[in-house]
Amino acid sequence: MHIMEGFLPPLHAAAWTAVAIPFLVVGARRITRITSEHPRTKLLLASAGAFAFVLSALKIPSVTGSCSHPTGTALGSILFGPSVMAVLGAIVLLFQALLLAHGGLTTLGANIVAMAVVGPWVAYGCFRLTRPLGLGIAVFLAAMLGDLATYLVTAAQLALAFPDPVRGFLGALAKFGGVFAFTQVPLAVIEGLLTVIVVNVLNQYSRNDLDELGFHDRVRAGSSAALKPSTA
């Protein structure tokens, strides 16, 4: 869902960059705090970034000026929180623009907002809400819906830049979103399943690191909350 170099009008590109900057600042502070308080989790942090890089590099041509691909940002969002993924996602997008000609520098801000801000926040919120359903289901839904949220934002960004001559923004949104859906919906399901597999592997081989981050405590807290009787 990276929007290609030079595809957005300059004012749109500048506006999306301005929106992305505050999230990058907050994310950088969060990463500094995590690495200071939990230094042994640096490798896990790097792995979350690498996971996003590899998955989001698997691009499939889709809407003109863009493409479809998994995002991989839900994993880091679930483990470290969504603000961290703003920075990791920005690094991923920058490297892909420079090394793979995937995305672009002028559209970096727009791509950050879609893939590294909105997607992770949706994934994080979904994970917190669905923890009572079980870890596997929560991870799957978080990764799938975070992916779909990214594609919807990209479709909206394109619709704002190129409204339909007759139906305006909504007409363009329906057009871009409909074209994206053919490739993005199955990719979102695949990403959800793959993220579940990765979390299960981390549970098996990096359990101490996850415990240091309080990951399992958060999962148990969500499950316990669902078991409490209602006082209403």
Predicted pLDDT of residue 117: 97
Predicted pLDDT of residue 227: 42
Q: In whole angstroms, give the CA distance from residue 119 to residue 104.
A: 19
Q: In whole angstroms, give the CA distance from residue 202 to residue 219.
A: 14
Q: In whole angstroms, give the CA distance from residue 110 to residue 192.
A: 24
Predicted pLDDT of residue 232: 36
Phi, psi (rounded to 5 degrees) for 196: -60, -45
Nearest to 176 by CA among 7, 20, 1: 1
Query: Bridge-partner residues for 67, per DSSP?
Result: 61
Q: In whole angstroms, give the CA distance from residue 124 to residue 154.
A: 19
Phi, psi (rounded to 5 degrees) for 61: -55, 140
Residues 82 and 31: beta-carbon distance below 8 Å:
no
Predicted pLDDT of residue 62: 60
Runs of H (alpha helix) within the chain:
10-37, 42-56, 73-80, 82-99, 108-111, 119-130, 135-161, 168-205, 207-212, 215-227
Residues 119 and 74: beta-carbon distance below 8 Å:
yes
pTM of the model: 0.88
- In tens digits, the chain (232 residues) has pLDDT values of 678 888 899 999 999 999 999 999 999 999 999 999 988 889 999 999 999 999 888 777 665 555 678 899 999 999 999 999 999 999 999 999 898 888 889 999 999 999 999 999 999 999 999 999 999 999 999 999 999 999 999 999 999 999 999 899 999 999 888 877 777 888 899 999 999 999 999 988 888 888 888 787 778 776 655 444 433 3
Q: Which amino acid is at 184?
A: Q
Q: In whole angstroms, give the CA distance from residue 131 to residue 175.
A: 34
Predicted pLDDT of residue 186: 86
- How is residue 80 written in tokens? 């470290």
**DSSP three-state, residue 60:** strand
Q: In whole angstroms, give the CA distance from residue 57 to residue 50.
A: 11
Q: In whole angstroms, give the CA distance from residue 214 to residue 209.
A: 9
Predicted pLDDT of residue 128: 92
User: Which residue segments constitute the domains of the chain, with CATH numbers given?
Assistant: 10-221 (1.10.1760.20)
Predicted pLDDT of residue 83: 95
Nearest to 138 by CA among 147, 128, 152: 128
**DSSP three-state, residue 164:** strand
